[in-house]
Amino acid sequence: MQDKIRYGILSTASTVKRFVNAMEETGTGTVTAIASRTKERAEEAAAAFGIPGAYGDYHELLNDPEIDAVYIPVINSLHYAYARDALLAGKHVVMEKPFVLHAEQAKELFELAASRNLFLTEAIKTPFLPVYAYVLEQIEERNLGAIRFMEFHQSYVGGSYIAGWNRQKEFGGGVLIANEAYFFRMAEFFGGKIVSCHGEASFGESGVEEQITLSVRLENNCLASLGVSTNILFDNDLKIYLDNARIVVPDFWKADHAMIYENGILTAEESFPCTYEFRYELSHYNDCIRSGLCSSPVNSPERAIRYIGICEELYKTWGR
């Protein structure tokens, strides 16, 4: 392997700029090519983001022997097919969330990756963010007690999440599948494994869910809730309620700031500025690849498979 792991990107999605810059910040990887459905779009993106190579076909990129790994941020319904093609082409894979749309697809992909000694992961950045290590440290050092309840809120009334394919079920649209990974992963980060999950959804004219509310019980005997809406704006944050304190983490899915309140008084506050928050998870994935691992011990195959399975059960209860 070269000094840096060489990545190709399938798609010119909105995450590409952040991915490219974050990868360069790791110092252990670099993006050498990008592919789109047309050569013109690929060349435009390559010029804009300083990427050397451009392909007008995804499979041309996958067949490039100078690429070690691929990042896949295509529309949700295409994740499985392109991840499978990438693995068969001998590439390591970092897959944008949601990993796939069905648990059986996830099982198949992880088995394929292991059989070919290739790395495969779902890109969930939250457990790698420095702010969460700080929160755990403060809980212990300040004797804040046990976590009893967590509230997660995420909302948006503009942008790509409320337009285009995100409004079409056949393409994997809807706010559940778009947001489950961060919620499930961080609920388990603080509260242990999910024991049960229940939820409700409201649906728009297109047939996909526009709002959801989920409730989970965790093995550490605490509860967590998630509210997501594309109709109204919440205070987008995570609130953690402990025996002796309340912790607030704004924009929990990309957090760089936390505040601790004891008896209603702000007693601690810390910020961890970072322009491209992908860098922390990407450093970990590059280390995994260099170590010959087929999966991440932090974002494990078991979690990805189980989280998608929970989503499938929720869709069944909603008759979808």
Catalytic residues: 97
- Secondary structure of residue 177 in the 3-state scheme: helix
What residues have CB less than 8 Å from 65, skipping those under 6 apart? none
Reading the block at residue 8, the tokens are 């190709």
End-to-end Cα separation, the chain, in angstroms: 45
Is residue 85 within 8 A of residue 62, CB to CB? The reply is yes
Q: Which of 306, 277, 261, 315 is nearest to 100 (CA)?
A: 306
66, 77, 133, 185 from 59: Cα distances, Å: 14, 17, 39, 32
Q: In what order do the strands lie in the sheet with 92-96?
A: 53-55, 29-35, 5-10, 69-72, 92-96, 120-123
> Each residue of 266-279: b (16+ CB within 10 Å) or e?
eebeeebebebbbb
How many residues are there in the chain? 320
Q: Which of 38, 98, 29, 97 is nearest to 69 (CA)?
A: 29
